[in-house]
């Protein structure tokens, strides 16, 4: 789950004890490390890598033959060589293979160099999301822009959850599992379990231990499971930064610096979109001192040719509402770095990207901005309004399947939730309903119906008979019966749902519209076309009053009406 995986090939020595000690040290600095004994195992290890970058150590052996096979592998980031013929190998191979960092004749020096590279990589690894603020609605957004807003919404829902001992223990269990072979990190985890308090969140983050590594990995890769596991610490750290941020709000503009690694693809995308709004998928670490950023940039000068190491210069207006940034020098374990840490979701505009010949680095100039923040805020608030009757626990799962399309992840989430809450938990019916929604999305109708019915029975026992959630259950059950071609049963459930909707909503409401449309579709299935048109036209009118003209529900309803006219052989009206 870290950003880096160390893969080594061969043995450092014929001495078995020395080999075991060396492999143990590598596992301590990189728990995911693999030691391969032959080419085949090495090939399989390289092919198994997905989101990580590989640091490849070659202990002795036919180095040239090995590098000719692996050097152009896209996941290969850096190569460290061990050879007693250091000077000869160094000159010959470094000229041929650009990813070779160095050649060592001392295994301790090699491991220390690998450790420094892993630390440097962790410090400058963060993903960038782009957002085109010219797009007027969430439905018009490009894939990048939609991801930008949906990810922010997901983080907002996480931050609305209440940190408790169970969420803390869940997080630490994930960390203990990952670092099971790393005594140093296990000691840190034990210390955290014993002594952590919310006012120490910034200090713990700055320690760059297990929390820093795994949390940033989850944020960078948008790993939903990992982010949910870390909700306890995300909430505390975000709250701490927001509290400290108030001290900066009255300050003048300031300039901050950061070293950043970007893939060539990401760099070119930014370079082609000067003026675009971006956000970073993580807590963004910066310094008031340019020399701190340059120091880390120089440490990374040996990184592979598929990456750009950039100096980011950020002009910050602390008074902007979207800016959450805190001077953490007094809290940080890393003294002297004059660190300013940005919270999640701060937006920046790309002002320029230029090559700084004096520094031999690309300099990316950003400025904090509220542009795009209003659209992001409006969408997030609209989604929260739609889901206001649900707790943050349920909102999180609904976002997974309904907005992000992560059906399997949502299924796992709701099932884990079902196992972790008591039977009398206030969310229990919504959990069953969420599982039903997931199965419905997958087309597993029997399981969907089973879970929808479970939710319905609980809601009948615990809610008033006119509660909108009971109408929701009736509607969902009707949808499954219609999909199973049990038309009359479906109609009965839809009519029951509509009766409740009409008691709750005198005028237009989208849930009411969905049920009216479903009744129309049932009558279409019964070949009662005129009756179907009455219901569908009623739904269409409601959608037109509720939604913008290009809303997909309007188009879908138009399509249903048109298909009925075609079945009635009234093609002219179908075209209208």
DSSP one-letter string for 464-498? -TT-HHHHHHHHHHHHHHHHTT-HHHHHHHHHHHH
Read off φ and ψ for residue 558, nearest 5 degrees.
-55, -40
Task: Locate 288 and state its tokens.
Answer: 């008031």
DSSP one-letter string for 39-77? HHHHHHHHHH-SSSEEEEEEESS-HHHHHHHHTT-TTEE
Residue-level pLDDT at 61: 65
Integer Cα distance of 401 and 408 in angstroms: 8
* Sheet of 277-280, strands arranged across: 128-131, 277-280, 347-356, 361-368, 307-316, 254-263, 284-287, 339-342, 325-327
> Residue 13 — left, alpha, or beta (φ > 0 → left; ψ -120 to 50 → alpha)?
beta
Tens digits of residue pLDDT in 394-410: 888 888 888 778 899 89
Reported as type and span, the H/E element at residue 211 is helix 210-221
Matching CATH number, 128-386, of 3.90.176.10, 3.90.700.10, 3.40.50.300, 3.30.160.150: 3.90.176.10
The reply to whether the predicted model has a pTM over 0.85 is no
Tens digits of residue pLDDT in 324-376: 899 998 887 777 789 999 998 888 999 999 998 888 889 999 999 887 666 66
Tokens 């001392």, residue located: 106
What are the residue ranges spanned by the domains of the chain?
4-124, 128-386, 388-575
Can you tell me whether residue 24 is helix, strand or coil? helix
Residue-level pLDDT at 142: 45
Q: Which residues contact 19 (CB under 8 A, 6 or more apart)?
A: 11, 12, 13
Residue-level pLDDT at 143: 45
Task: Locate 130 and state its tokens.
Answer: 């782009």
Residue-level pLDDT at 131: 60
CATH T-level fold of 388-575: 1.25.40
* Nearest to 477, CA basis, from 500, 504, 456, 501: 456
Residue-level pLDDT at 12: 65
Homologous superfamily (CATH) of 4-124 is: Response regulator (3.40.50.2300)
DSSP label of 443 = T
Can you tell me whether residue 350 is helix, strand or coil? strand
Integer Cα distance of 234 and 413 in angstroms: 18
Task: Locate 329 and state its tokens.
Answer: 């020098």
Task: Locate 161 and state its tokens.
Answer: 């959850």
Burial 1-13 (b: 16+ CB within 10 A, else e): bbbbbbbbbbbbe
Give the distance, in angstroms, between the CA of residue 428 and the centroid of all CA atoms in the same chain. Answer: 26
Residue-level pLDDT at 133: 52
pLDDT mean for each 10 residues of the chain (576 residues)? 78 71 82 81 81 82 71 79 70 77 84 82 68 46 53 74 88 92 88 95 89 87 85 92 86 88 83 87 90 70 64 92 88 81 89 90 91 68 72 85 84 90 91 96 97 97 95 97 96 97 93 96 94 95 89 90 86 60
Residue-level pLDDT at 150: 62
CA 68, 69, 73, 78 dihedral sign is negative
CA 553, 554, 557, 559 dihedral sign is negative
């Amino acid at each position: 789950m870290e950003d880096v995986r160390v893969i080594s090939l061969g043995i450092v020595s014929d001495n078995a004890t020395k080999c075991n000690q060396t492999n143990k040290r590598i596992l301590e600095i990189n728990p995911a490390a693999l030691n391969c004994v032959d080419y085949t195992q090495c090939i399989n290890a390289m092919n198994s890598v997905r989101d990580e970058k590989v640091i490849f150590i070659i202990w002795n052996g036919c180095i040239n033959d090995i590098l000719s096979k692996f050097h152009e592998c896209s996941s290969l980031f850096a190569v460290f060589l061990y050879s007693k013929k250091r000077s000869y190998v160094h000159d010959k191979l470094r000229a041929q293979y650009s990813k070779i960092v160095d050649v060592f004749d001392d295994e301790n020096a090699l491991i220390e160099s690998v450790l420094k590279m892993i630390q440097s990589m962790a410090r400058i690894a963060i993903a960038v999301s782009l957002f085109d603020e010219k797009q007027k609605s969430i439905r018009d957004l490009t894939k990048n822009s939609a991801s930008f807003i949906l990810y922010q919404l997901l983080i907002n829902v996480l931050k609305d959850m209440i940190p408790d001992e169970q969420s803390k223990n869940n997080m630490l269990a994930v960390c203990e599992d990952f670092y099971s072979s790393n005594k140093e990190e296990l000691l840190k985890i034990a210390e955290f379990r014993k002594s952590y308090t919310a006012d120490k969140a910034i200090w713990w983050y700055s320690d760059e231990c297990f929390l820093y590594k795994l949390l940033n990995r989850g944020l960078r890769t948008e790993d939903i499971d990992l982010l949910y596991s870390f909700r306890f610490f995300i909430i505390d750290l975000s709250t701490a930064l927001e509290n400290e941020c108030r001290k900066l709000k009255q300050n003048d503009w300031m300039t901050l610096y950061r070293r950043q690694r970007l893939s060539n693809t990401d760099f070119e995308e930014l370079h082609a979109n000067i003026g675009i709004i971006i956000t970073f998928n993580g807590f963004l670490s910066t310094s008031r001192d340019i020399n701190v950023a340059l120091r880390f940039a120089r440490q990374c000068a040996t990184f592979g040719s598929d990456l750009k190491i950039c100096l980011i210069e950020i002009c910050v207006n602390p008074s902007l509402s979207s800016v959450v940034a805190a001077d953490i020098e007094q809290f940080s374990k890393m003294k002297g770095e004059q660190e300013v840490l940005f919270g999640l979701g701060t937006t920046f505009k790309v002002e320029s990207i230029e090559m700084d010949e004096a520094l031999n680095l690309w300099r990316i100039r950003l400025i904090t901005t509220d542009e795009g923040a209003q659209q992001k805020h409006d969408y997030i608030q609209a989604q929260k309004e739609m889901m206001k009757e649900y707790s943050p626990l349920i909102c999180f799962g609904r976002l997974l399947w309904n907005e992000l399309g992560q059906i399997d992840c949502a299924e796992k989430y709701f099932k884990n939730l079902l196992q972790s809450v008591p039977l009398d938990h206030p969310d229990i019916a919504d959990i069953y309903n969420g599982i039903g929604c997931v199965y419905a999305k997958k087309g597993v109708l029997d399981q969907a119906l089973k879970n929808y019915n479970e939710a319905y029975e609980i809601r009948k026992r615990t809610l008033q008979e006119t509660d909108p959630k009971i109408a929701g259950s009736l509607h969902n059950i009707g949808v499954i019966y219609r999909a199973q071609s049990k038309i009359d049963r479906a109609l009965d459930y839809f009519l029951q749902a509509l009766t409740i909707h009409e008691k709750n909503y005198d005028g237009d409401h989208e849930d009411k519209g969905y049920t009216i449309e479903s009744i129309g579709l049932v009558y279409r299935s019964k070949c009662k076309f005129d009756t179907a048109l009455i219901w569908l036209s009623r739904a269409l009118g409601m959608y037109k009053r509720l939604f913008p003209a290009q809303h997909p529900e309007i188009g879908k309803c138009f399509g249903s009406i048109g298909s009925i006219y075609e079945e009635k052989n009234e093609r002219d009206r179908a075209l209208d």
